[in-house]
């Protein structure tokens, strides 16, 4: 009993430490934005803008008043509507005969982030020429109609694209929302009934539960939108397919803990993402990218959108400690701007080591990323929340070890082939890097999860076609 109490106290301390980390991050962001506001106010441009502010407010208020006459209920409003319970059970579905993989969200909005990478690479895998248990094809939805995604597929795998044509839903079809369906859920809703009328099923891909579990790490718009989407998806989906076993278990446990209503017999499964990058044979990195890894100083690579949970501040603090102790090493950050990033971006750009031993590329393509992987000594991955951890497997495929936060999904992906440090602890990260450089700690990258994207595509089809779900909710 005492051991259980000690374990509970340790967990409480870790939760408190995580909350303190998030508070410190947001405090730094607030202070930076406050400073920028004062700078703007007391600058010449600030004085000019002061007279324009009332005009801007008047125009915005007028536009909102006009739009409100035609606006549909928001996701927040839909969420606040009481839910009496889950939908009634229906007759058993027909055996799976075809998999329709929706890529609507990525066609409309390709931000070049991890989710879009998964969608595009899985689609490549589906069209790799391999045979699967059931036929699978990429589709898109517009105006309640289901169409082929020939143009999208041709851009990924090459060849001439036939014009997109409408698809008739057939008996036993499985409809997988692989793309970010929270941005197109209402648009896809008419397809759900067509699928079920033909004895088919609706499956939703879930990338993570971060907006539910770590709302302060997300953009303020994301949390209510995701919350409304998840509750709709639980009622409309016959199954969920997660990008890791960790996320699959988190979803099942979260639904039970929160008492959320769901479709009877809800199935939950998972697949693992691939690690191979699609590269151009004639690609050459920019001179600035080459310069970042030129010379004898060991280079460490940190890959991920600039946002609170990715831990770029932890990485910078760790390298400052190492530089202060005489370590001549480099930190290369690769990632687009995300949200709540102003303070850390300003810190990086104004850092005395920027351009010397600290670099940031916000527009690197896959070919340049591959070049940086090949010339780095290790990956630094200090996130405190992830759905998978693509950089870990991408680095390992090139024989590069990862030094990453000790969180469950990284243990699932990195296994014994990565080095782990206490999450959100810059000192622990610095010590792990020093141990790695001095040969006191090492790892075998062959032990890291190794999956090709065509294997990921095959796993998706097999889970759905063979009913190989890991969890079923009564």
pLDDT digits (tens, 9 = 90+) for 161-186: 889 999 999 999 999 999 888 877 88
pLDDT above 80: residue 40: no
Q: If we measure between CA atoms, which residue out of 347, 409, 5, 167 comes closest to residue 392?
A: 409
427: number of Cβ within 10 Å: 13
β-pairing, 267-270 vs 471-472, is: antiparallel
Residue 351, exposed/middle/buried by CB under 10 A (0-12, 13-18, 19+)?
middle
Q: How confident is the model at residue 315 (pLDDT cuts 50, 70, 90)?
A: very high
User: What pLDDT score does 2 carry?
Assistant: 67
Token pair listed for 365 = 């393509």
Collapsed DSSP state (helix, strand, coil) of residue 357? coil
pLDDT above 50: residue 11: yes
Q: How confident is the model at residue 25 (pLDDT cuts 50, 70, 90)?
A: confident
Q: What is the mean pLDDT of residues 419-442?
A: 98
Contact yes or no for 97/170 (Cβ under 8 A): yes
**Which residues share a beta bridge with 360?**
333
Q: How confident is the model at residue 34 (pLDDT cuts 50, 70, 90)?
A: low
Q: Higher model confidence: residue 43 or residue 269?
A: 269
Instruction: Name the least confident of 269-283, 311-325, 352-366.
Output: 269-283
Contact yes or no for 152/178 (Cβ under 8 A): no
User: What pLDDT score does 1 carry?
Assistant: 67
User: What pLDDT score does 51 carry?
Assistant: 54
Contact yes or no for 174/95 (Cβ under 8 A): no
Which stretch, 48-62, 83-97, 173-187, 307-321, has highest mean pLDDT? 307-321
Q: How confident is the model at residue 279 (pLDDT cuts 50, 70, 90)?
A: confident
Placement of tokens 């959100």 in the chain: 424
Cα torsion at 25, 27, 33, 36 (round to 10°)? -110
User: What pLDDT score does 93 carry?
Assistant: 82
Token pair listed for 328 = 């001549």
Q: How confident is the model at residue 79 (pLDDT cuts 50, 70, 90)?
A: very low
User: What pLDDT score does 75 carry?
Assistant: 33
pLDDT above 80: residue 379: yes
User: What pLDDT score does 10 carry?
Assistant: 76
Token pair listed for 53 = 């502010």
- Residue 361 CA to residue 416 CA, distance in Å, equals 30
- Residue 386 CA to residue 371 CA, distance in Å, equals 24
Instruction: Name the least confident of 142-156, 177-191, 236-250.
Output: 177-191
Q: Higher model confidence: residue 237 or residue 89?
A: 237
User: Percentage of residues in the chain with pLDDT exceeding 90?
Assistant: 70
Q: How confident is the model at residue 220 (pLDDT cuts 50, 70, 90)?
A: confident
**Neighbouring C-alpha atoms within 13 Å toward the C-beta of 74:** 10
User: What pLDDT score does 393 carry?
Assistant: 97
pLDDT above 90: residue 299: yes
- Residue 437 CA to residue 343 CA, distance in Å, equals 30
Mean pLDDT of the chain: 87
- Listed in sequence order, the residues at least 6 apart from 243 whose beta carbon sits closer than 8 Å to its beta carbon are 118, 205, 206, 207, 208, 270, 271, 272, 273, 387, 388
| pLDDT per position as a tens digit, 327-346 | 999 999 999 999 999 999 99
| pLDDT per position as a tens digit, 45-68 | 545 545 554 554 455 444 444 433
User: What pLDDT score does 7 carry?
Assistant: 73
Instruction: Name the least confident of 72-86, 121-135, 151-165.
Output: 72-86
Contact yes or no for 313/25 (Cβ under 8 A): yes
Q: What angle do CA 149, 150, 155 make, to 5 degrees?
A: 105
pLDDT above 50: residue 32: yes
């Amino acid at each position: 009993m005492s051991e259980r109490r000690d374990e509970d106290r340790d967990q409480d301390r870790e939760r408190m430490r995580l909350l303190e980390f998030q508070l410190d991050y947001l405090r730094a962001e607030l202070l930076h934005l406050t400073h920028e506001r004062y700078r703007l106010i007391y600058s010449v441009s600030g004085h000019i803008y002061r007279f324009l502010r009332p005009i801007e407010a008047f125009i915005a208020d007028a536009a909102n008043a006009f739009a409100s006459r035609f606006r549909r209920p928001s996701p927040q409003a839909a969420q606040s509507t009481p839910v009496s319970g889950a939908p009634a059970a229906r007759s058993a579905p027909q055996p799976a005969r075809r998999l329709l993989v929706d890529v609507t969200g990525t066609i409309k909005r390709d931000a070049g982030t991890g989710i879009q990478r998964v969608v595009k690479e899985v689609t490549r895998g589906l069209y790799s020429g391999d045979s699967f248990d059931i036929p699978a094809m990429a589709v898109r939805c517009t105006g309640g109609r289901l169409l082929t995604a020939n143009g999208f597929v041709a851009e990924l795998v090459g060849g001439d694209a036939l014009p997109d044509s409408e698809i008739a839903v057939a008996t036993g079809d499985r409809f997988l929302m692989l793309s970010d369906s929270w941005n197109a859920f209402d648009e896809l809703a008419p397809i759900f009934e067509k699928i079920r009328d033909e004895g088919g099923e609706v499956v939703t891909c879930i990338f993570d539960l971060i907006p539910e579990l770590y709302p302060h790490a997300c953009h303020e718009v994301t949390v209510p939108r995701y919350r409304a989407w998840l509750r709709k998806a639980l009622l409309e989906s016959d199954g969920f397919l997660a990008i890791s076993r960790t996320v699959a278990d988190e979803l099942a446990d979260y639904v039970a803990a929160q008492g959320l209503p769901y479709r009877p017999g809800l199935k939950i499964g998972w697949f693992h993402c691939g690690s191979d990058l699609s590269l151009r044979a004639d690609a050459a990195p920019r001179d600035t990218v080459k310069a970042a890894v030129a010379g004898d100083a060991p280079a460490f690579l940190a890959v991920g959108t600039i946002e609170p949970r990715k831990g770029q501040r932890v990485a910078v603090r760790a390298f400052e400690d190492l530089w202060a102790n005489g370590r001549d090493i480099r930190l290369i950050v690769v990632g687009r701007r995300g949200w709540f990033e102003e303070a850390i971006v300003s810190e990086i750009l104004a850092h005395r080591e920027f351009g010397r031993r600290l670099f940031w590329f916000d527009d690197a393509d896959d070919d340049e990323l591959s070049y940086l992987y090949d010339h780095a000594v290790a990956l630094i991955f200090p996130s405190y929340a992830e759905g998978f951890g693509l950089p870990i497997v991408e680095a390992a495929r090139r024989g590069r070890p990862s030094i990453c936060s000790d969180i469950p999904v990284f243990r699932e992906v990195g296994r014994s082939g990565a080095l782990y440090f206490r999450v959100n602890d810059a000192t622990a990260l610095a010590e792990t890097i020093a141990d790695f450089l001095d040969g006191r700690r090492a790892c075998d990258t062959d032990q890291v999860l190794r999956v090709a994207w065509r294997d990921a595509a095959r796993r998706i089809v097999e889970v759905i076609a063979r009913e190989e779900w890991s969890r079923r909710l009564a």
